[in-house]
Amino acid sequence: MPSLVAGARGAAEEVERLREIGARHCTGRGDLYAVVEVFQWEEMKREGQSIKVATDRCKGKRAAIERSRVLLAENAHLFREQTTVEASVMCDLEFQPEVRR
C-alpha cells in the first residue's frame, strides 16, 4: 500500500509541475530559455541524434522568442538533407541543460 501512496503523490507532483509550466508559458513572465537544437537523422528520418544545442537564458517570453530566432539564424547553415534545426522556448522547470547537451 505505501508504494501506491508514493505513486499517487508522485503523479500529483508531476501534474502540478506540468500545470506550473503551462502557467509560466501563458504569462510569459520569469526566466525562459531560448533553445535551438540540431538533429542528425538516419536516412529514413526515424531516429535522430542531437549533435548541437544552443541556449540562452532570457527575461520573459518575448525576449526568449526573439533570441530563439537569432539562434536559429546563427545555426541555419547546419540545416541539410539529413539534419534539422529546431527552435523552442522553455521555462526553467522544463529546461535541463545537463540532459539536453
Predicted pLDDT of residue 82: 93
Residue 67 has pLDDT above 90, yes or no: yes
How far, in Å, CA of 92 to CA of 49, rounded? 23
Range of 30's domain?
2-100
Given a cut of 50, is residue 51 above it in pLDDT?
A: yes
Residues 6 or more apart in contact with residue 99 via CB below 8 angstroms = none
Do 22 and 67 form a contact (C-beta atoms < 8 A)? no
Residue 1 reports pLDDT greater than 90: no
- Whole-prediction pTM value? 0.74
